[in-house]
């Protein structure tokens, strides 16, 4: 439990207050400050501090819409604890419609940062110390990288009980049990003892309405689990926790025809894509090497040898049993959450 007053970006936000703030993360070469926007809602009642971040990769927009709606819908009167909402972490990438910082580096490889490091390390250090270390729980919102689409799923270190609690409460059908990439915000936070989960959902450079709507409801689920909001947690009774995945890659250059989509349950040897040359002649049939669930696909039709075209979760449960359960929940629709 934190104090009644939370201090961020040189401001004090007292219990029952909300403030829109700007956190200085860097400066331009003409000495102008660079800020990221954030909103702090300090509830009227005590409780934990939840940080919700989006656009650590600047072209991943679905999370921005989730955070904007979160800011719009919640008030201090209904909230127990404190909510820190950061719609855009990587302001440079967002402004330039790119994943990266201006120097081409990935901000999500430099946490917790270093105040004496290069610019990306200093940027990460400011975000980590001003926001992450002042939080009790974290939800970090992402999409697939450019040219790919991801099935909505949570990535979490399920060996940590407090992480597992919020991962399951979020409510996605699939959870990837993975410690996290060194230098990522999630990994750095959990290494510091702060439970953090990552949502991966959809594509870059677009707002996908259904993902934003379900993402918002899922954040509310976590807040109810943490007793920050009144009400019951509303999640699926059926969740798959998987810790083995594999990228299926093209062995030939060509033009793809994808025969699957995120959320599909596929059997071993099922054709995932057909690879053809410019004359339309098939050069390769790309098949599933094991039973799995499609977590992500390439959306760009052109490939070179070695390029990932389909990301599969290794499914250790019987395919027929999993399909039956998913049909009971979702009907013939793709898995949305």
- Say whether both 32 and 179 belong to one domain: yes
Query: pLDDT, tens digit, for every residue of 297-308?
Result: 999 899 999 999
The answer on pLDDT for 240 being more than 70 is yes
Query: In this structure, what CATH number is given to the domain that contains residue 125?
Result: 3.40.630.10
Q: Return the DSSP state at 157.
A: -
Average pLDDT over residues 90-114: 96
Angle CA 79–81–83, to nearest 5 = 80
For position 169, what pLDDT does the model report? 97
- Say whether both 90 and 198 belong to one domain: yes
Average pLDDT over residues 200-204: 96
- Say whether both 301 and 176 belong to one domain: no
- Say whether both 198 and 266 belong to one domain: no
- Can you give the residue range of the structural domain that contains 69? 6-225
Query: pLDDT, tens digit, for every residue of 205-222?
Result: 999 999 999 999 999 999
Average pLDDT over residues 254-270: 94
- Say whether both 250 and 204 belong to one domain: no
With a CB cutoff of 8 Å and minimum separation 6, the contacts of 293 are 151, 174, 240, 242, 263, 264, 265, 266, 312, 313, 315, 322, 335
The answer on pLDDT for 63 being more than 90 is yes
For position 238, what pLDDT does the model report? 85
Domain membership of residue 199 (yes or no) is yes
To the nearest whole percent, how much of the chain has pLDDT over 70? 98
Q: What is the pTM of this model?
A: 0.94
The answer on pLDDT for 322 being more than 90 is no
For position 319, what pLDDT does the model report? 86
Domain membership of residue 290 (yes or no) is yes
Query: In this structure, what CATH number is given to the domain that contains residue 311?
Result: 2.40.50.100
To the nearest whole percent, how much of the chain has pLDDT over 90? 88
Annotate 175-212 with DSSP letters as a single string.
Answer: EEE----TTSHHHHHHHTT--EEEEEEE-SSS--HHHH
- Say whether both 152 and 267 belong to one domain: no
Sort strands 292-298 and 308-314 into parallel, antiparallel or unpaired: antiparallel
Domain membership of residue 166 (yes or no) is yes
For position 334, what pLDDT does the model report? 58
By the 8 A CB rule, do 309 and 147 touch?
Answer: no
Q: How many domains does the chain have?
A: 2
Domain membership of residue 237 (yes or no) is no
- Say whether both 310 and 214 belong to one domain: no
- Say whether both 276 and 206 belong to one domain: no
Rg (CA), the chain: 21
Q: Would you give the end-to-end CA distance of the chain in angstroms?
A: 31
- Say whether both 161 and 80 belong to one domain: yes
With a CB cutoff of 8 Å and minimum separation 6, the contacts of 282 are 274, 275, 276
- Say whether both 12 and 143 belong to one domain: yes
Domain membership of residue 62 (yes or no) is yes
Q: Return the DSSP state at 144.
A: P
Please state, rounded to an integer, the average pLDDT across all residues of the chain.
94
Q: Return the DSSP state at 132.
A: G
Domain membership of residue 267 (yes or no) is yes
């Amino acid at each position: 439990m934190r104090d009644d007053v939370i201090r961020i970006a040189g401001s004090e936000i007292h219990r029952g207050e909300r403030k829109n703030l700007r956190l200085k993360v860097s400066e331009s070469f003409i000495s102008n400050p660079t800020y990221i926007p954030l909103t702090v809602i300090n509830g009227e009642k005590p409780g934990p501090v939840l940080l919700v971040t989006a656009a650590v990769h600047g072209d991943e927009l679905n999370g921005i819409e989730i955070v904007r709606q979160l800011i719009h819908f919640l008030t201090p009167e209904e909230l127990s604890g404190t909510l820190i909402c950061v719609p855009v972490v990587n302001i440079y990438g967002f402004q330039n419609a790119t994943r990266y910082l201006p120097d081409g580096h990935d901000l999500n490889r430099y946490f917790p940062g270093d105040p004496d490091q290069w610019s990306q390390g200093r940027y990460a250090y400011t975000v980590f110390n001003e926001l992450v270390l002042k939080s009790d729980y974290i939800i970090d919102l992402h999409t697939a990288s450019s040219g790919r689409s991801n099935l909505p799923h949570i990535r979490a270190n399920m060996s940590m009980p407090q992480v597992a609690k919020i991962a399951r409460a979020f409510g996605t059908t699939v959870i990837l049990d993975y410690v996290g990439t060194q230098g990522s915000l999630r990994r750095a936070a959990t290494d510091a003892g702060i439970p953090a989960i990552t949502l991966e959902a959809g594509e870059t450079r677009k707002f996908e309405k259904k993902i934003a709507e379900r993402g918002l409801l899922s954040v509310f689920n976590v807040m109810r689990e943490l007793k920050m909001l009144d009400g019951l947690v509303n999640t699926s009774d059926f969740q798959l926790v998987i810790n083995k995945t594999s990228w299926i890659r093209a062995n030939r250059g060509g033009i793809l025809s994808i025969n699957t989509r995120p959320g599909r349950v596929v059997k071993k040897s099922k054709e995932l894509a057909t690879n053809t040359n410019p004359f339309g002649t098939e050069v390769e049939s790309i098949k599933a090497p094991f039973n799995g669930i499609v977590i992500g696909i390439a959306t760009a039709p052109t490939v070179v040898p070695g390029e990932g075209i389909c990301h599969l979760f290794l499914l250790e449960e019987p395919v027929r049993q999993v399909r039956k359960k998913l049909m009971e929940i979702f009907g013939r629709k793709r898995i949305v959450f």
